[in-house]
A = this chain, B = another copy of it.
C-alpha cells in the first residue's frame, strides 16, 4: 500500500492517518501490557518459516517456567490455533481475510478475549508476510523476525524494513544447512547492515538445536518490566 500512496497523491494523507490511528491504539496496548507486566512479542516472517513449530516447542519446553498465551494471525483457517491449543496453551485465532497483517485494533480485541494474566508472556504470530507487518506497531515489546535458512541469505537486505523493525532474528531450520547453499555469516552480516543492534539466535525448532539461548533471552525479558510510557 505504501507505494500506492506515492503514486496516488490523495491516499498519502489517508495512509498516514491509518498509521497514526494504529500507533495511538498500539500505545494503549503497550501501556496495558506494561501495567500488567505482560511481555508481548510480535512474531513476523515469510509464510512457512516455522513460526508455529517454534511456538509449539517453546511452549512445551517452558510451560513450567513461563505462562504463555498466543494470538494467531492468518488470512484463513484455524489450523495454527489448533496446533497451539494441543500444547495446552490458551490461544485466539484472528483471520484477516484478504488482509495482509494484524493491526493494533485487532490485537486489542484479541487480548480482550484472551485476558492474559499478570507476569505472563503473550506471543503474537502475525500473518506470514515479510513486508506489511513491518509498518504496524501492535504495542509489542519487540518484533521477533524468524528467517528460515531455506529462504536465502539475502533476505535482510531485500526486505530491510522488517529487519530494521525487529529486535531479534531467529535463524531457523539450521538442521537443513547440510543440504543447502546458505552462508550463515553473510546472512547475519546483512541483518546487522540494516540493523546493527539486532540480536541473532541460530535455532532449529524441529530438532531443538540452539533453542536454549532463545529461551534464556525470553526468560530474561519476561522478568524485566519496562516502565509505563517508556516501553519502546
List residues of A whose CB falls within 8 A of some B CB: 1-4, 6-8, 10-11, 14, 18, 21, 46-48, 74-77, 79, 96-101, 103, 105-106, 127-132, 134-135, 148, 150-152, 154-155, 157-161, 173, 176, 179-180
Contact = CB atoms under 8 A, between A and B. Distances in A.
B151 A48 contact: yes
Contact of A100 (B77, B132, B179): B132
B132 A150 contact: no
Pick the 5 closest A-B CB pairs, nearest first: A48-B151, A3-B99, A2-B98, A150-B150, A100-B131
A158 B77 contact: yes
Copies of this protein, total: 2
20 contacts: A1-B1, A2-B100, A3-B100, A10-B14, A14-B14, A46-B47, A46-B151, A47-B152, A47-B158, A48-B148, A48-B150, A98-B161, A100-B100, A100-B132, A128-B130, A129-B132, A131-B132, A132-B132, A150-B150, A179-B179
